[in-house]
Chains A and B, each alone.
Chain A
C-alpha cells in the first residue's frame, strides 16, 4: 500500500473520498484475498438458497385447492426461519470488512481520512462484496434449478418451470440481500467504531442471571403441559395453531436461556480443561457467551423446528394412514417432512457460511497473537483445534439442547412418535447431524487462513521489520 498519492487526495472534494480510497486500497494482499472471497461466497450461498426456497414456495402459490392455504403458511414459515441466519451472515461479512478497515486505518490516517470516511468506505465495500455475491448466487440458483425441480411435492416433481421466480422477483432478492448487507455492515461497524477492541479488552466476563433459567424452565414446562392436552384437540388447524404458538414461545425462551447455558457450560469446561486447546476454547466461549450464542442460534431454531415439525409429521403420518392414497391429505405430511428437511439443510448451510466467515475474521483479528504463539512453539494444530472447538462446542450444546428441549415440549407426542414412526424421527436426527458436520467443514475450510497468517509472518510479502 503506497502513500505516494497524498497531495492529490487532499486537493479534491471530500464527497468522493471513500470511493477513491476504496479503489486505491483494493489491490489484493495476502490476507485481503480471503477477506473478500469469503463474504462473496457466503452471500452467494445465501442468495442461491433464498432464491431456491422462494422458488419452491412460489410453486405452492400456484395451487388452489382446500389445502393450498396450509402449504402457503408453511412455506412462509420456512422462508421466515431462513431470515435469521441470513442476517447473521450479513453481520459476519461486515465484521470481516471491519477487520480490513483496521488494517488500513494507519494508511488512511496518513491520507487524511476521517473516521466517517473510513466507515463509509467499509460499508460501501461490504455492499459491493454482497452485490458480487448475490449475482453469483443468482447463477448458482439457475444452476441448481434442474436438481431442485426433481424434488417431489404432492407426489410429483416440482419441475423447473414452477421454480422460476421471474426477473423482477430475482432482482428484488438481490436488492434485499445487498440492502441487508449494507445495514448490517453499518450496524456492525458502529460497534467497532465505538470500541475497536470491545470484546477483547473487556475487563470481566459478563454474567447471566440464573433467574433466566428458572423462568425459561417454567415456560417450557407450561408449553409442554399444553401440548399434553393437544392430543385431544379437534381439527388440523387448531393443532397447527397450538404447535406454532408453542414453538414461538419455546424459541423465545431458548433465546433468553441460550447464552446463560453456554456460559455455565463454558465455565465448567474451563475448570475441567486438561489440554491447552480445551482451555483456550472454553475461555474464548466464556469471553462472550452472547456472541457464541448468536453464532449458533440459527441452529437452535432449526433443530427446534426440525424436531417439532418432524414429530408432528410422524404423528400425523401414523394417524392419517387412513387417508386415501393419492388424496391431497395423503401427500401433505410427506411434503411437510420434505419442507422441514430442506429448511434444516438451508439453515445449516447459512450457519456454516456465517461460521466460516466469522472464523476467518477471528483469525485475521488475532494475527499478531497467532504469529506470536507460533514463535513460542505452540503447534498450529493446537491453535486450530482451539478455535474450531470454540464454535463446535456451543454448536453441539445448542443443537442437541434445543432438539431435546423441543422433544420435552412435545413429549406427550414424541413418545408416541418414536414408537409409531421411528423412521421420521431418525431422518430428522440424521439431518441435524449432517448439519453439524457441515458447520465443522466450514470451519476446517478456514484452516488455510491461519496457515497463511503464520507463513506470512516470515515471508517477504508481509509488512517489514519487527
Chain B
C-alpha cells in the first residue's frame, strides 16, 4: 500500500439549492489510476475541481501530500491554488481548449513557461512530449489544423510537460469517436500510470473506466461504490512504472 497523495474529508458543496457534494471522504494512492463515474449531475466534476483546488468546498478539506508534508489545498488562497495547479497538477478537459492562435508546440511549452522555464528549454521539453504522444512533425501546426484526437493529445502533453505528479482528466474522450477515444486513453494511461503518476479521471464510459485500477461511483454527491477493477493487477501502481518517462 502506497501513501495517499490526495485525501479528502467530508467534502460538501452546494450551488444554491442544489447539493453537488454531500460528504465525500476519499483517499487516492500515489501512482494510482482512479475513475470517477456517475450520472450527469452526480457531482463528478465538482469533486474533481475540489481535489485539484479549482474550487473550494463549502465544508470539509482536501490535503495534498508534498515532500514537505501535507498541504491543505482547500484553505489556500486563490493565487496559491493557481500556483499549485500550474506547478503540481496537470489537466485534460473534454474540449482541449488549447489556445487557438498558438501552434501545438507553443501550447505545450507555454505551460512550462508559466512556471518560469525559459522558452528554448520549454520548447525542447514540449517537442519531446509531443513526440511521445505520437505527434512528431505536427509541432508547428495550429490547433485548427489538428483533428480532435490530435488536439486531445496536445492537451495531454500540455498536462504532462511540467512534470505534474497528479493528472486530472474530466471526460477527456467525451467528444471523440470510440476508435480515437481508445487511442487517446492509451496515450493518457501510458503517460501517467505506467510512469507512476497519479490519474484522476472522470468518465461516463464504462470501457474507459475499466482501464483504470479503481472505480468510484457517485450518486447525488455521495460515493455509492468504490471498487478495484479487473485490470487492477495489470495496472497496479507498484508493479508498473517500467517506462519511467520522467520530466
Contacts and interface: CB of A to CB of B under 8 A. Distances in A.
B85 A376 contact: yes
A110 B74 CA distance: 40
A276 B40 contact: no
A464 B15 contact: yes
Interface string A251-286: 000000000000000000000011110011001101
B102 A382 contact: no
Interface in A277-300: 279-280, 283-284, 286-287
Contacts of A286: 101
A462 B87 CA distance: 28
B145 interface: yes
B236 interface: no
Given A376-B91, A377-B114, A203 B145 contact: yes
> What is the interface of chain B mostly: helix, strand, loop, or mixed?
mixed
A378 interface: yes
Given A276-B114, A460-B15, A379 B82 contact: yes
Given A202-B144, A274-B119, A287-B101, A378 B86 contact: yes
Q: Which of A280, A377, A464 has the most CB atoms of chain B within a 10 A radius of its CB? A: A377
Contacts of B94: 466
A12 interface: no
Nearest to A274: B119
Nearest to B79: A379
Given A274-B118, A279-B106, A460 B16 contact: yes
A181 to B, nearest CB: 29
A465 B41 contact: yes
Interface in B1-53: 15-16, 18, 40-41, 45, 49, 52
Contact of A466 (B45, B83, B144, B158): B45
A379 B83 CA distance: 8
B58 to A, nearest CB: 11
Interface string B80-114: 00111111010101110101111000100011011
For chain B, the bracket of interface size reads 35 or more
B99 A275 contact: no
A200 B144 contact: yes
A329 B213 CA distance: 90
B54 interface: yes
Nearest to B116: A275
Contact of A280 (B49, B84, B99): B99
B55 A458 contact: yes
B101 A376 contact: no
A275 B113 contact: yes
B245 interface: no
B100 A201 contact: yes
B110 A279 contact: yes
A273 B114 contact: no
Contacts of B84: 377
A372 B15 contact: no
B72 interface: no
Given A379-B79, A458-B54, A465-B41, A201 B144 contact: yes
7 A-B pairs with least C-beta separation: A377-B86, A377-B85, A372-B97, A287-B101, A283-B101, A460-B15, A460-B16
28 contacts: A200-B100, A203-B142, A204-B142, A274-B118, A279-B106, A279-B113, A280-B99, A369-B97, A369-B99, A372-B93, A375-B49, A375-B52, A375-B91, A376-B158, A377-B84, A377-B85, A377-B87, A377-B89, A377-B114, A378-B114, A379-B79, A379-B82, A379-B114, A382-B114, A464-B15, A465-B40, A466-B45, A466-B170
Interface of B: 15-16, 18, 40-41, 45, 49, 52, 54-55, 79, 82-87, 89, 91, 93-95, 97, 99-102, 106, 110-111, 113-114, 118-119, 142, 144-145, 158, 170
